[in-house]
């Protein structure tokens, strides 16, 4: 394998975006990935910062960034870089025909599958909450056979949140006899077909009308395009808003397809099933990483490395009763010393979970540092869920930290290391 300028370890959103930004700026990039990470189970939306300590919602995403607590990744990524990263992502997505909308100046409160609202920043056009907010009547789509979505429950909870709107459900018969419960992804695959879309739209049409908005589970096509969504919306004659739902995440799968399509056009080498398990260091710098797949070791050389291996969720960091370990470079992990202190007494509390804040300490250049703050490897940058100091689930900041740290790492590499 020829040497690359940059090797990215991890194929989640942070790895794919770091690769895209570096490649866009002329770098020869190889991505080594052992799975899709949380892209296919996450929401496919970009949360930036939803809640402060104590579960207090921020008025806008940028207010969340400005008020990030000490040690939070945003404090060293920097507000300006966050803004640039968001614009860069929106530009790339838009050029690819699957534009994201929203901004750092407005919180998007999107409906969830249970009819609550969740704060986020960037959403695909299928989740345009302004349409929901403007409507006088919300009609929740109750599709026969679809699992993990209860339209009556969602409708009941939306009724509590919007007492001035009329809330109804519309029953849609099974789209195809399958003999089993359908996931949102199974259904979205059916709606990739024009004939099924016509059948689906016909069932909704009876309740369409002025000031009506349909709330649908995320089923409006599997692809990173608006073809299915636009076709259904046109046939129904009223707006549809997809809600966030449980895995497998159709919107996350679309986001992955979007990123992979960008990388393909940029000529990025993408190697799947590449389990990176070692590294080669010469004169204090990493010169290569190694993978071991099907009993054969391969070596990937580069000048710069981006560690985007996803922390605990992505398996870039592992833990047992005695050890917490970063698996590729054996970097030190910042974690409470006693395992007993890793969790709050309550799973769902108004405080962050210490285990979620566990990660790798870095400096402002995103280089890994030891307990004294000394750089361990100058040509390694750490991004996304690997970073210490934030609880994405509590704050609603997951893909925001992923995108913005990836952008910063790639920009530093492109500029030769200077911020």
Residues that bind ligand FAD (CB under 6 A): 9-15, 32-39, 41-43, 45-47, 244, 274-276, 308-310, 313-316, 327-328, 384-385, 392, 398-400, 402
Name which of 104 and 276 has its Cβ closer to ligand FAD: 276
CB of 379 to ligand FAD, least distance (A): 18
Name which of 402 and 413 has its Cβ closer to ligand FAD: 402
The Cα 280–Cα 275 span in angstroms is 15
CB of 245 to ligand FAD, least distance (A): 10
SS3 264: helix
DSSP 52-105: EGGGEEPSSHHHHHHTPPTT-HHHHH-HHHHHHHHHHHHHHHHHTT--EE-BTT
CB of 51 to ligand FAD, least distance (A): 13
What are the tokens at 105?
């100046």
The Cα 139–Cα 395 span in angstroms is 30
The Cα 15–Cα 280 span in angstroms is 21
CB of 287 to ligand FAD, least distance (A): 18
CB of 394 to ligand FAD, least distance (A): 11
Q: What are phi and psi of 103, to 5 degrees?
A: -155, 175
Name which of 143 and 274 has its Cβ closer to ligand FAD: 274
Name which of 10 and 115 has its Cβ closer to ligand FAD: 10
β-pairing, 123-124 vs 100-101, is antiparallel
Name which of 41 and 161 has its Cβ closer to ligand FAD: 41
How big is the chain, counted in residues?
A: 419
CA atoms within 13 A on the CB side of 163: 1
CB atoms within 10 A of CB 267: 9
Burial of 246 (0-12, 13-18, 19+ CB in 10 A): middle
CB of 79 to ligand FAD, least distance (A): 18
CB of 400 to ligand FAD, least distance (A): 6
CB atoms within 10 A of CB 76: 19
CB of 348 to ligand FAD, least distance (A): 15
SS3 183: coil
Name which of 227 and 246 has its Cβ closer to ligand FAD: 246
Name which of 197 and 368 has its Cβ closer to ligand FAD: 368
Name which of 38 and 157 has its Cβ closer to ligand FAD: 38
SS3 1: coil
């Amino acid at each position: 394998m020829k040497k690359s300028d940059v090797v990215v370890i991890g194929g989640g959103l942070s790895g794919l975006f770091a690769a895209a930004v570096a490649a866009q700026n002329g770098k020869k990039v190889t991505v080594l990935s052992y799975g899709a990470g949380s892209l296919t189970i996450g929401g496919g939306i970009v949360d930036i910062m939803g809640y402060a300590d104590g579960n207090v919602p921020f008025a806008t995403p940028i207010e969340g960034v400005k008020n990030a607590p000490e040690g939070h990744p945003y404090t060293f990524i920097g507000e300006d870089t966050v803004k640039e990263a968001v614009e860069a992502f929106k530009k790339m997505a838009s050029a690819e025909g699957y534009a994201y909308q929203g901004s750092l100046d407005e919180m998007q409160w999107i409906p969830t599958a249970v009819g609550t609202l969740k704060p986020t920043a960037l959403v695909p056009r299928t989740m345009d909450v302004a349409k929901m907010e403007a409507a006088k009547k919300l009609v929740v789509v109750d599709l026969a056979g679809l699992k993990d979505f209860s339209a009556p429950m969602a409708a009941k909870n939306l009724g509590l949140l919007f007492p001035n709107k009329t809330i109804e459900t519309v029953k849609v018969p099974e789209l195809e006899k399958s003999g089993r419960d359908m996931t949102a992804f199974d259904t979205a695959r059916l709606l990739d077909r024009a004939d099924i879309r016509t059948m689906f739209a016909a069932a909704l049409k009876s309740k369409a009308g002025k000031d009506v908005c349909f709330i649908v589970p995320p089923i409006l096509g599997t692809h990173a395009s608006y073809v299915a969504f636009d076709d259904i919306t046109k046939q129904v004659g009223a707006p549809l808003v997809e809600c966030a739902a449980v895995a497998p995440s159709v919107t996350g799968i679309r986001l992955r397809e979007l990123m992979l399509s960008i990388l393909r056009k940029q000529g990025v080498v993408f190697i799947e099933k590449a389990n990176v398990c070692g590294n080669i260091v010469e004169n204090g710098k990493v010169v290569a990483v190694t993978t071991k797949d099907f009993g054969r070791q391969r070596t990937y050389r580069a000048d710069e490395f981006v560690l985007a291996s996803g922390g605990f969720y992505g398996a870039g960091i592992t833990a047992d009763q005695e050890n917490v370990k970063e698996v590729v470079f054996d970097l030190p992990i910042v974690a409470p010393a006693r395992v007993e202190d890793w969790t709050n007494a309550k799973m769902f509390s108004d405080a962050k979970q210490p285990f979620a804040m566990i990660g790798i300490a870095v400096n402002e250049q995103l280089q890994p540092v030891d307990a004294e703050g000394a750089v361990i490897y100058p040509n390694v940058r750490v991004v996304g869920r690997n970073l210490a100091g934030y609880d994405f689930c509590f704050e609603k900041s997951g893909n925001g930290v992923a995108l913005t740290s990836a952008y910063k790492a790639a920009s530093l590499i492109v500029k030769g290391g200077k911020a």
